Amino acid sequence: MKTKLLPTNVLNAVKRTRMVYQVGRKARFAFGSYMGARYVPALDSRAHYNDFMLSSTSADHLRSYRQGAVDFVGILERSLQEAGRDWQGIEACLEVGCGYGRIVRELRHKLPAQAMSVCDVIDEGARFTAAEFGVRRVPVVDAMGEEYDETFDLIYLLSVYTHLPRLMIEDNLARVSKLLKPEGVLVFSTHGKQSAEKAEIYEQYWLDKEKLNAELDRTGFFYERYPYYYAEYGLTWIVADEVKKLVAAAAPGLEFIAHHALALDGHQDVFVYRRA
């Protein structure tokens, strides 16, 4: 069954008129919210109809949806090792931008539910993940007040900074760094230079690959909002040195541990930091 209702060429035609696209998207999400979740045998669990990471329940797509999550849990494990930690020492873990629980579904095989917290600006996603997998939903970090005093051993963001403008990334990094315990580990993914060099894989009709690469060479950073969105959300590329500078300025309490180019699905870079 396909949960992405329109073929790409028709969807692109709709996207060219932002208002029409947004009305359609709202209707699609309202329909998904009404339908809720269904059991998906290949996932051994239920999946929400609004899970935008699961655009189809064909065997191939389900396999890559699940494998992507399993691989990322492996990346988290390696990141912990690189930072001198392991799963046994993780009493509190936070996923920022959990979507509808793709990663938590696999991570629960490594960590007990009571050790996991999630948040997402799409609150329905965080609520579903919390209810379905017994983990805790916390406010989005950007909305946590100064009085929020819980801290975490591990915080990760998968495909979140790949969509945000610079100021939002800097602000988020500063907040996330304060939420880490001493020796706490931060793992996040980015689109780096090698991803920009093959930007056609993202199949974005509006994206000018030459402009992207020229700006990346000039400034180390590129962001463009999806032209069919009103909110600040789009596609972001950052070269590795710029990521390091950005983190050093926004979150000076973080110590660089590792960078793995194209480590995730062959197109996203992974960065590992530890709170000093």
Among the residue ranges 21-29, 115-123, 196-204, 216-224, the one whose residues contact ligand SAM (CB under 6 A)? 115-123
Q: Which two tokens stand for residue 44?
A: 């051994």
99 is an interface residue for ligand SAM by CB under 6 A: yes
What whole-number distance in Å separates Cα of residue 221 and Cα of residue 167? Answer: 12
Write the CB contacts of 276 (distance below 8 Å, at least 6 apart in sequence).
182, 253, 254, 255
Binding mask 196-225 for ligand SAM (x = CB under 6 A): ------------------------------
Give the nearest distance from C-beta 39 to ligand SAM in angstroms.
19
Q: Which of 171, 101, 90 is nearest to 136 (CA)?
A: 101
Give the nearest distance from C-beta 142 to ligand SAM in angstroms.
5
Among the residue ranges 18-26, 129-137, 152-160, 236-244, the one whose residues contact ligand SAM (CB under 6 A)? 152-160
Give the residues across from 221 on adjacent strands.
Answer: 238
What whole-number distance in Å separates Cα of residue 197 and Cα of residue 209? Answer: 8
Which position among 42, 140, 240, 257 is part of the footprint of ligand SAM (CB under 6 A)? 140
174 is an interface residue for ligand SAM by CB under 6 A: no
158 is an interface residue for ligand SAM by CB under 6 A: yes
Q: Which two tokens stand for residue 35?
A: 């339908």
Nearer to ligand SAM, 146 or 210 (CB): 146
What whole-number distance in Å separates Cα of residue 189 and Cα of residue 251? Answer: 16
96 is an interface residue for ligand SAM by CB under 6 A: yes
**Burial of 233 (C-beta count, 10 Å sphere; 0-12/13-18/19+):** middle
Q: Which of residues 118-137 bind ligand SAM (CB under 6 A)?
A: 119-122, 125
76 is an interface residue for ligand SAM by CB under 6 A: no
Sign of CA dihedral 27, 33, 34, 39: positive
CA angle 80, 131, 106 (to 5 degrees): 35
Nearer to ligand SAM, 48 or 275 (CB): 48
Give the nearest distance from C-beta 217 to ligand SAM in angstroms.
26
Among the residue ranges 6-14, 95-103, 104-112, 145-153, the one whose residues contact ligand SAM (CB under 6 A)? 95-103
Q: Are 163 and 233 in contact (CB under 8 A)?
A: yes
What whole-number distance in Å separates Cα of residue 138 and Cα of residue 97? Answer: 11
List residues binding ligand SAM (CB under 6 A). 53, 96-99, 102-103, 119-122, 125, 140, 142, 158-160, 172
